[in-house]
Structure 1
Amino acid sequence: MMKCIILDDYQNVALRSADWASLHDRVDVQVLTTHIDDEAALVAALASADIVVVMRERTPFPAGLFAALPCLRLLVTSGMRNASIDLEAARAHGVTVCGTASSLMPPVEMTWALILGLARHIVPENRAMQQGGPWQRSLGRDLAGHRLGLLGVGRIGGAVARVGQAFGMRVSGWSPHFTPERAASAGVEFVASKELLLAESDIVSIHLVLGDATRRLVGASDLALMKRDALLINTSRAAIVDEAALIEVLESGRIGGAGLDVFEHEPLPPQHPYRTLSNVLATPHLGYVTRDNYDTYFRQAVEDIHAWLDGCSVRIL
């Protein structure tokens, strides 16, 4: 019987999110709910696994890990894009890598949760109420009539734009390959440069794919262009923004605040400044973490395993 290990099931919901029992006579399924950061410990945990199921990019699979796992034959990831998997190394070691569908709406909704949470000071006001503190400590900021600037106006960015427009915001966009024609089709204002978008926007939200062209795309000189009360939202990938530069402008109060759901190192180290800065609303990469999404991930992971065992086509990355 083959062995399957499901990694990083933080909420311990994988087994009840799909019909894993349908595999019981062919595959022994085990679940790990605690993240393993040490590679040697990870190799030991996965040494006998023929199949591994990973949740997004929580556990990277570089070339060295594939080399250390000779039993591994199938790697299933949630979603159809996972930059933390070395696909070339997987092919070289004869490992099939496949994925699942993923809804674009959960990260869109998470983006707006961060925007609204920051704009209306939801967390500190709630904390003050729970602790018996002063009534109405802060002054919220308006969205209607103000500018939302999107770095990236693809499927997710376009959906974020539509919500902004529903709030009565002026929405503009830029990306390395954005054109006036694409802007018109998305119903947003075309901005000719990243610098202009950062300088003019009251709220900047990032919705770009991480790659060579976008890594550290927003650096110290870019952050210096932002309005002093502007908000920066990142639910995409942490490495698009220079972390050290962002921490510096947040600590100095050079921008109004940041809403962050993605980090260079996850889980975020206990002493990281993002955990304590009063102008940061940080969440532990919850953008895709919803009941419907998980049901899709694990149901289709089971389907992928069945198809692979039967020699049928799978959703290859």
Structure 2
Amino acid sequence: MTTLRCAVLDDFQEVARGRADWARLADRVDVRFLRRHLTAHDELVAEIGDCEIVVVMRERTPFPAELFARLPKLRLLITSGLRNASIDLAAAAAHGVTVCGTPSSSEPPAELTWALLLGLARGVVTENGNLRSGGPWQSTLGADLHGRRLGLLGLGKIGARVARVGAAFGMDVAAWSQNLTGERAAEAGATLAPSKEELLATSDFVSVHLVLSERTRGLVGADDLRRMRPTAYLVNTSRAAIVDQDALVRALREGWIAGAGSDVFETEPLPLDHPLRTAPNFLGLPHLGYVTRGNYDGYFQGAVEDIEAYLAGSPIRTLG
């Protein structure tokens, strides 16, 4: 039997090998794990051009049409999760590549949303840094959550989970998106805001939970950030491009808002000279929303299942 080659990309933490039983494939597939992030297509083709199977982590490595054209041996592309906007599914089909997804949980990104929101509200990073360095004892004044308004842009699976936690904190939870109804909002324990503008102008905390699309790209621009209260905080664990990044930097530097937290960036890893790295009152994380033991088990065990099903002639969790 011919042995196929498989590359698992962007294994930053070097944990992919241990999160699934890859030995189940040993007699049919030679699997290698790549930690270093490859951005240039020439470099990527040199590394995986001999592979029939490639496993990608979320949207870390885009697969546009021109990349498929340079990978003639590729037959199966597996992405963690069941959605990946950075894969050109039409191009995959045109080149005879099957694209499959894996199980993914909505709990971890909802939990991380609260890590960012609470970290901002209570100055956690600043106070911890002061404590460890011998700096001032109590240098910040925390923002209250109880009785304050939490505004959610988007109320899907993740947004609804965030809404329920907000209600548990005693917050007034409101939500808005283009297609959200009052009935759907009420089911999640939120009220429907009459408009995006009203939601931003009246919320003490705003959290973004929308899918990136042509309708949502740049949805929160400079005018929207200016509309927010100077004491308000913005959190984005969805997709960076939903918020105008240049406007966000300006809002932080000029004090339009009290602070912002983000787990997502338009270029990842974030360039060392990116202005958000030095923006005041910014709490940033390296896209950790989905990075938990449970999710990784689902991703990599699901990848093994996808490969086995493909080899059996019955692909599962196909996309496109």
TM-score (normalizing by structure 2): 0.98
- AA matched with 2:229: K
Within-5 A mapping of 1:153-302? 153-302=155-304
- Structure-1 separation of matches of 2:21 and 2:259: 43
- Structure-1 separation of matches of 2:278 and 2:105: 31
Residue 148 (structure 1) aligns with: 150
Contact 2:151 2:206 survives alignment (8 Å)? yes
From 28, 31, 46, the equivalent of 2:30 is: 28
Residue 78 (structure 2) aligns with: 76
Task: Specify the SS of the correspondent of 2:19.
Answer: coil
- Structure-2 separation of matches of 1:111 and 1:184: 21
Q: Deviations over 1:278-302 (max 9, x none)?
A: 3000000000000010011000100
Residue 118 (structure 1) aligns with: 120
Contact 2:19 2:301 survives alignment (8 Å)? yes
Contact 2:101 2:318 survives alignment (8 Å)? yes
Residue 132 (structure 2) aligns with: 130
Task: Specify the SS of the correspondent of 1:16.
Answer: helix
- Structure-1 separation of matches of 2:111 and 2:36: 27
Which stretches in structure 2 are left out of the alignment for 5+ residues? none
Q: Deviations over 1:225-276 (max 9, x none)?
A: 1000110000000010111111111111111010000001100000111112
- Structure-1 separation of matches of 2:256 and 2:312: 58
- AA matched with 1:169: M
How far the C-alpha of 1:184 sits from its partner, in A, is 1.7
Task: Specify the SS of the correspondent of 1:259.
Answer: strand
Contact 2:237 2:264 survives alignment (8 Å)? yes
Task: Specify the SS of the correspondent of 1:173.
Answer: strand
Within-5 A mapping of 1:51-130? 51-130=53-132
Task: Specify the SS of the correspondent of 1:302.
Answer: helix
- Structure-1 separation of matches of 2:117 and 2:186: 24
- Structure-2 separation of matches of 1:94 and 1:165: 48
How far the C-alpha of 1:39 sits from its partner, in A, is 1.5
How far the C-alpha of 1:185 sits from its partner, in A, is 1.7
Q: Deviations over 1:50-85 (max 9, x none)?
A: 000000000000000000000000000000000000
- Structure-2 separation of matches of 1:215 and 1:141: 30
Contact 2:100 2:315 survives alignment (8 Å)? no
- Structure-2 separation of matches of 1:74 and 1:298: 15
Residue 48 (structure 1) aligns with: 50
Aligned residues: 317
- Structure-1 separation of matches of 2:64 and 2:307: 22
TM-score (normalizing by structure 1): 0.99
Task: Specify the SS of the correspondent of 1:224.
Answer: helix
- AA matched with 2:14: N
- AA matched with 1:99: G
- Structure-2 separation of matches of 1:11 and 1:131: 28
Moved over 4 A (4+): none
Contact 2:131 2:137 survives alignment (8 Å)? yes
- Structure-2 separation of matches of 1:308 and 1:228: 54
- Structure-1 separation of matches of 2:214 and 2:136: 48
- Structure-2 separation of matches of 1:274 and 1:284: 12
Q: Deviations over 1:23-64 (max 9, x none)?
A: 000000000011011111011111101000000000000000
Contact 2:253 2:280 survives alignment (8 Å)? no
- AA matched with 1:251: R
Task: Specify the SS of the correspondent of 1:308.
Answer: helix
How far the C-alpha of 1:135 sits from its partner, in A, is 0.7
